[in-house]
Amino acid sequence: MSPPGVAVGVTLDRRGFLATTATLAATATGGCTGCAASPTASLRLTPADDARLAREALTVFDAGSEPDRPERERAALAERVVAEGSATVEDADPPLPTDRPAVVGDAGVYRFAAEPVDSRDLRSFSVTIDPIRVDEGEETPGPDRRVRYENLPEVDRSVLADRGYDDERPIGIGTALSYRPEAVEESALVPDPEYPVVVWPDGPARFEVDGASTYTLFTYRLTAERVASAAAFGADIRARFGFSPAPLPSEERAILDAAVVPGTPAADADGESDGGSGYHVAGDEAPSEAFRSLVDRFRARDPVTFEWEAEPEPWRASGEYVVRYDDAVHWARLFVDESAFTGTPTEP
């Protein structure tokens, strides 16, 4: 098990994401005053060529499109492994998925392997760093109970700097700091702080150690094997899972017309509305007979599910589908609260 605060290569798979968000949709408003009711259902169809189908169905590593720094760095690592053939990194777990393929930038679909070639143990200390708000009247302990950041032992400054806590104090956090076992003896902060307060350039903060554990950091040699182009992988998805709901009565066509949205479909399997895009049934509304009939058409088909994913329950309609409609292929995301359709509660 990885210690708190250590970045590890754990990816929530697409199917797990759908199950998790659907559960959140069903339970998010429990005990919440003034919250909007959970949606009863939603359907979104986005036109998609074959390459797009692969990107929707798989994890995508594209450093240029990731605003989040950890995910951007992870995507850059995947791109480097593909470009250079291999890479060596340290992590508590494999930093890239090894049990399923992924789309890597414009290079195609790849499977990664992570071979552990070395390891070392580290001590992890759970700590709380809580700023002392002098400007609000809080008092700073006397000189014998505080230490300036620049006067800390080098090992402590290095560990804090690795977490980004060198230029300024954290804004009230609980986190984990990792030390080499032999370096703990040099520390003034762990396992028992010699000073209860550390003074950063921008002010003092209380420093407390809440617990300790030991974990193993592995050195992994990462390699990648090309599976196919994104277009070829998507074509296989289309051939395996694509279906047409035609012929349709006008009421059901109107629902599909409302469900079609341009651009990139948001990962909103829970049915949350994003300003009216797609077709939505509000939590306080009953689904129409036309929508019930349309959901039954989806329920009779196989959602996009791969061999590395758990088979969905046959009674559950929620999922991702490939739908041919109006001479175009669409990536479809369907969420239904089964209790409103079949009397079966939506569960994880």
- Compute how many other C-beta atoms are within 10 angstroms of the C-beta atom of residue 178: 19
- Tens of pLDDT along 253-266? 999 999 999 865 44
Residue 269 has pLDDT above 80, yes or no: no
Q: CB of 245 within 8 A of CB of 294?
A: yes
Range scoring the smallest mean pLDDT among 14-28, 31-45, 150-164: 14-28
Task: Give the pLDDT score at 133.
Answer: 87
**Token couple for 190:** 């762990």
Domains of the chain by residue range: 120-218
Mean pLDDT of 66-84: 95
- Using one digit for the tens of pLDDT, what is the confidence trace for 127-140? 999 999 887 788 88
Residues 299, 305, 307, 310: is their CA dihedral positive or negative?
negative
Q: Report the pLDDT averaged over residues 159-182.
A: 92
pLDDT given for residue 9 in this prediction: 34
Which residue from 342, 315, 331, 318 is spatially nearest to 259, judged by alpha carbons? Answer: 331
- The mean pLDDT of the chain is 86
Question: From CA 158, how far away is CA 123, in angstroms rounded?
Answer: 15
Answer yes or no: are the C-beta atoms of 104 and 110 closer than 8 Å. Answer: yes
pTM for the model: 0.75
Overall average pLDDT of the 215-233 stretch: 98
Instruction: Name which of 50-54, 125-129, 163-167 the model is least confident about.
Output: 163-167
pLDDT tens digit sequence for 102-122: 999 999 999 999 999 999 999
The average pLDDT across 211-237 equals 97
Give the per-residue pLDDT at 7. 35
pLDDT band at 329; cut points 50, 70, 90? very high
Residue 343: per-residue pLDDT: 63
pLDDT computed for residue 347 by the predictor: 56
Cis amide leading into 247 (omega within 30): yes
Could you tell me if residue 212 is left (phi over 0), alpha (psi between -120 and 50 degrees) or otherwise beta?
A: beta
Residue 321 scores a pLDDT above 60: yes
* Stretch 73-85: mean pLDDT: 97
Percent of the chain at pLDDT exceeding 90 = 70
> Strands (DSSP E) along the chain, which ranges?
41-47, 59-61, 86-91, 102-104, 108-131, 146-148, 173-179, 197-200, 203-228, 242-243, 279-281, 319-325, 328-336
Q: How far is CA 164 from the centre of its chain?
A: 22
| 153: confidence class by pLDDT, cuts 50, 70, 90 | very high
pLDDT above 60 for 30: no
